[in-house]
Amino acid sequence: MSSETSTEQTNSPDAPAQNPDTPAVPTFWNYVGFWFPHIVAVGYAFVILAAIGTQFFGDELPCPLCVLQRMAMMLIGIGAIWVIGQAHKGTLTLSAYARSFGLMIVGALLGATMSVRQIELHILPGDPGYGEAVFGLHLYTWALITFIVVILYSAIMMMFFGATFPVVPEGKAALWTSRILVWLFIAIIIANVVLIFAEEGFNWYLPDDPTGYKLLNPDLSS
C-alpha cells in the first residue's frame, strides 16, 4: 500500500519535475558555478556605475565608442543574470548554461573590438587620450582588460561546465542576493538608456567628442 502511494505521488501532475541536469549531490564547484555569474554581474554593475559617476562628477561625457563598450558590458551582464534566474527557477539545462557563456564571449569580443579601436585612436605619442586616466590607464583600456578576463573565464568554465553546473544554495540569503543584483542591473540598463537618449537627443548619432546633452540643449554643435 505504501509503495502504491509513493508511486502515485511521484506520477502526480502536481509534483514538481526534477531537472535531470541538476546533480543529486551538489559539490563545492556547483556552488562556485552559481556565485560566479553574480561576481561577473556585480563587477560590471560597479564598472558602469563608475562610468556614470565620471560622466556626472568628472564632466566626461561618453563618446560613441564608450557607449558601445557599456552596451557590451550590459550584454555580458544579461548573460550572467539569465543564468542566475534560470538556476533559481530550476529550469537551467547544461546546453543553456553553455550558451550563456557563448553570449558572454560574444559580448566580450564586441566590447574588446570597440576598446581596441578607441585605444588605436589615441595611440600616437603625445596624445593625452580621451578622459582622465585611472591608475595610469584610461577607462577604455581598463574595459579591454575586463573583456579579456571575461573571455578567459567563460572559456575555462565551458571546459568544465558539467562539473560547475549552478546549484542554488539553501536559504533565503541566496534568493535575496540574486533579486537585489538583478533589479540593480535592470536599473543600470534603464539609466543608461535614459542618459544616452539625453545626450543624443532626437539625432541619429552621437558626436565623436560630445560637449553636452542635446535633448536639453538642441543648439549644441554636432
DSSP per position, 159-182: HTTTTT---PPSSHHHHHHHHHHH
The predicted pLDDT at position 221 comes to 62
Q: What's the CA gap between 188 and 49, in Å, rounded? A: 8
Q: What is the pLDDT of residues 150-172, one digit of tens each?
A: 999 899 888 887 888 898 898 88
Say if 219 falls within a structural domain. Answer: no
Residue 9 located in a structural domain: no
The predicted-structure confidence for 23-79, as pLDDT tens digits, reads as follows: 667 788 888 889 999 999 999 999 999 888 888 877 778 888 988 999 999 999 999
73 in any annotated domain = yes
Would you state the pLDDT for residue 105? 95
Residue 118 lies in domain = 25-200
Overall number of domains in the chain: 1
Residue 103 lies in a domain: yes
Average pLDDT over residues 179-196: 90
Question: Is 209 within the bounds of a domain?
Answer: no
Lowest mean pLDDT among 88-102, 123-137, 186-200: 123-137
3-state secondary structure at position 134: strand
C-alpha dist (Å) from residue 216 to 53, 56, 59, 67, 182: 19, 15, 16, 19, 31
All residues at 6 or more sequence positions from 99 whose CB lies less than 8 Å from its CB, including other chains: none
CA distance 90 to 108: 27
